[in-house]
Amino acid sequence: MKLYFSPTSPFVRKCLATAHELNIGDQLQFLPASSGPVKRDQTIIVSNPLGKVPTLITDDGVALYDSRVICEYLNSVGKGQLFPAEGAARWACLTLQALADGMMDAALLARYETALRPDNLQWNDWRLGQLDKIETSLSNLEKNAASLSQTPNIGLLTLGCALWYLDLRFPELAWRGRFPAVAAWAEIFLKRESMSKTWALAA
């Protein structure tokens, strides 16, 4: 399997963490990618018209995207149990995945506003609106922190990647001090090898 790779994409990291938990990480070959909202990577567009990472090329040559589809495919390949099969546990897990995906989406949009947009075109209220999505999500998680397990599933892995990205790109948010229950969960969960591991393209 081939995965279009960007080392700082939280969505790519989500797929890598999933593969690692399933012990199939060594089946992934990384393809370099420079996906962006303005300068679009034509090599990805050949397989994924959205031109985004992650994009996975299966051993059968089929292109899969986005991270939700890729992770479910990897869970199938690895015969894993990261996706509860049915019932309330499944819907809770998928909803947590959606929440954490939304946090990562908002964080990327906030970063694009200052990292890519010209100074004279930046809209600070837009950026603050994106960061507020993260704030309200963390507040919701704090209220429901008792439901956060240390047994990995796709929702928890996605949340771990979202928090990793906040630490990477938005240390000024200092979220741990304001959301101590989430921080206590993360203090343990982010020490998992799948969460702390670094990945890079082969030299």
Domain ranges in the chain are 2-82, 87-193
Fold of 2-82: Glutaredoxin (3.40.30)
Residue 9 has φ and ψ, to the nearest 5°, of -75, 120
Quote the pLDDT of residue 203.
59
Q: What CATH number was assigned to the domain covering residues 87-193?
A: 1.20.1050.10
**Rg of the Cα atoms in the chain:** 17
Q: SS3 string of the chain?
A: CEEEECCCCHHHHHHHHHHHHCCCHHHCEEEECCCCCCCCCHHHHCCCCCCCCCCEECCCCCEECCHHHHHHHHHHHCCCCCCCCCHHHHHHHHHHHHHHHHHHHHHHHHHHHHHCCCHHHCCHHHHHHHHHHHHHHHHHHHHCHHHCCCCCCHHHHHHHHHHHHHHHHCHHHCHHHHCHHHHHHHHHHCCCHHHHCCCCCCC
Residues 6 or more apart in contact with residue 165 via CB below 8 angstroms: 8, 10, 13, 104, 107
pTM (two decimals): 0.96
Residues 6 or more apart in contact with residue 67 via CB below 8 angstroms: 11, 12, 14, 15, 54, 101, 158
Quote the pLDDT of residue 91.
98
Check if the beta carbon of residue 49 is closer than 8 Å to that of residue 66: no
Per-residue pLDDT of the chain (203 residues; tens, 9 = 90+): 999 999 999 999 999 999 999 999 999 999 999 887 888 889 999 999 999 999 999 999 999 999 999 999 999 999 999 999 999 999 999 999 999 999 999 999 999 999 988 999 999 999 999 999 999 999 999 999 999 999 999 999 999 999 999 999 999 999 999 999 999 999 999 999 999 999 998 75
Measure Cα distances from 117 to 6, 10, 65, 113, 155 in Å.
20, 20, 26, 5, 31
Residues 6 or more apart in contact with residue 32 via CB below 8 angstroms: 4, 5, 201
